[in-house]
Amino acid sequence: MTDMFAEFLKKVLPLAVLLGAWTAHAQEMPDRAAPTIAMQQSAATGERTYVVEPGDTLWSIAEGLYDEPWYWPSLWSYNPQITNPHLIYPGDLIYLSRKSAQTQAERTISFATSRYEPKPKSGIELVRRVGYISSRDYRESGVLEASREERNMLGQLDEGYVRFNTRRCAEDDKAKAERDAFRASEDGEAKHDEKKAEDEEDEALVGPCVRDGDRYTLYRVESEIVHPVTGKRVGYKINFLGDAKVLSTVRPLVSVLITRSHSEISRGDLLTNVFEPLQLVTPTPNKVQVAGVILDFHHETTAAGAFSYVYIDKGADDGVEKGNRFEIVWRGDGLARGNVSNLKDYPDEQIGIALVVEAYDRHSLALLTSTVRELERGMPAVMAKGF
């Protein structure tokens, strides 16, 4: 019996060892059907990314993630691998911020004595000239009174009839030619002194005029902008609708062709000087010292933060130029929200930077490039010389 059991072990033991080795080997072999788990590069560098889904466009992605479809050029600038912004495909990886590899030095913590920075950060900003028009430009705007088409809503390639309060350039050219011819005649020489005062009065009336081929921007008024301190109206928030080209100025109603439409256009909408909605703004050192306040925010909100558009009550008449920067300053006790009796004893703190997008006569449109807390209407805005 013992011999038989020993013989059995000799036959079975090698087989058991072989099965054990195969089982251990099988446990070490990866399952080819299982998904591969690997950390994405974005997780290592901190980049924010988005995977394109069917039907996505840069416009819709910007609108969905930032509630601002006009942010799409910035998304495109962050993704140089996209050669055509109109051609993105499901599965494409979209970077939502500038792609940059962090270094060890950038990952370390640095301490500063204050949030105040005496030197501005350099860098070109892609900005959008959001809807705003000054009171003077509003008064000089034309009004779309009628159309060639038999419908209320107009769009691209439709023709409309506009009434302008400004003169026709052809009339100015004709009047100038008649004056020149009169001065060259004998009667003109004799009556030169008599006509001098009248000519000077004519020259004083020179201003905007309308001529064939001129281009305009169509817009609609949304609301007024009122100075938070004086209560005076300084301009209007507007909604851009499209562009138009003047075809004929022969009749009192000027004929225009709608060359581009962003929204439906109807009778009663207005026309003003044309400009492109997107532009690159390069920071420019301030040439003068100016102190003003935040008039209003472009969007209907009680407070504003970084990359919001604000209106400031200082403009070109005060020496403000496009590319200048205002420091938004604040003083007081943070817990008391600034409601202290001895406010003049507190130092000024820089809580935001506003880059001027467009300088109008007496006010400016600016983009908040950085903030450390929410901003409110009426807060001081200081443009320091050399900043």
In this structure, what are the phi and psi dihedrals at residue 96, rounded to the nearest 5 degrees? Answer: -90, 0
Q: How far apart are the first and last CA of the chain?
A: 104
Lowest mean pLDDT, pick from 218-232, 245-259, 344-358:
218-232
- Whether 352 has a pLDDT exceeding 80, the answer reads yes
Q: Do residues 298 and 311 lie in contact, with contact meaning Cβ atoms separated by under 8 Å?
A: yes
For residue 286, pLDDT over 60 is answered with: yes
Q: Give this prediction's pTM.
A: 0.50
Which structure tokens are listed for 376?
Answer: 């409110």
Q: Kindly list the distances between the CA atom of residue 305 and the CA atoms of 165, 278, 368, 373, in Å, as whole numbers in the listed order.
A: 40, 21, 7, 7
Residue found by looking up tokens 């532009």 in the block: 279
Residue-level pLDDT at 338: 60
For the domain bounded by 41-95, which CATH number is listed?
Answer: 3.10.350.10
Q: pLDDT, tens digit, for every residue of 112-122?
A: 555 545 555 55
Pairing label, strands 364-371, 278-281: unpaired
170-188: average pLDDT? 59
Q: 133-166+210-275 architecture in CATH?
A: Beta Barrel (2.40)
3-state DSSP assignment of residue 379: coil
DSSP state, residue 214: -
In terms of pLDDT, which residue wins out, 22 or 243? 243
CATH match of 125-129+280-383 with 3.40.50: no
User: Could you tell me the CA-to-CA distances from 155 to 23, 203, 224, 261, 341 in Å, in that order?
Assistant: 74, 39, 26, 6, 57
Going by pLDDT thresholds of 50, 70 and 90, the confidence category of residue 344 is confident
Do residues 144 and 271 make contact, with C-beta atoms less than 8 angstroms apart?
yes
Mean pLDDT over the full length of the chain: 76
- Token pair 């506003």 in the structure block, residue: 354
Q: What is the mean pLDDT of residues 331-340?
A: 75
Residues 6+ apart with CB under 8 A from 316: 359, 360, 361
333 pLDDT band, cuts 50/70/90, is confident
Encode pLDDT of 31-81 as tens digits.
555 444 444 444 445 567 888 988 888 988 888 887 788 888 888 888 888
Q: How far apart are CA 357 and CA 128, in angstroms?
A: 8
Is 107 in contact with 74 (CB distance < 8 Å)?
no
Predicted local distance difference test score (pLDDT) of residue 203? 39
Q: What is the pLDDT of residue 23?
A: 47
Length of the chain: 387
Q: Are 259 and 243 in contact (CB under 8 A)?
A: yes
205 vs 146, residue with greater confidence: 146
User: Taking a C-beta distance cutoff of 8 angstroms, is the pair 162, 143 a contact?
Assistant: yes
Q: Range with the lowest mean pLDDT among 158-172, 200-214, 218-232, 302-316?
A: 200-214
More confident residue, 238 or 253: 253
Q: In whole angstroms, what is the distance from residue 137 CA to residue 151 CA?
A: 28
Contact 147, 159 (CB under 8 A): yes
Q: Please state, in angstroms and as integers, the Cα–Cα distance from residue 131 to each residue in 200, 241, 271, 355, following that order.
A: 37, 10, 13, 17
What percent of the chain is helix, strand and coil (3-state, nearest 5)? Answer: 25, 30, 45
273: confidence class by pLDDT, cuts 50, 70, 90: confident
DSSP 8-state class, residue 262: S
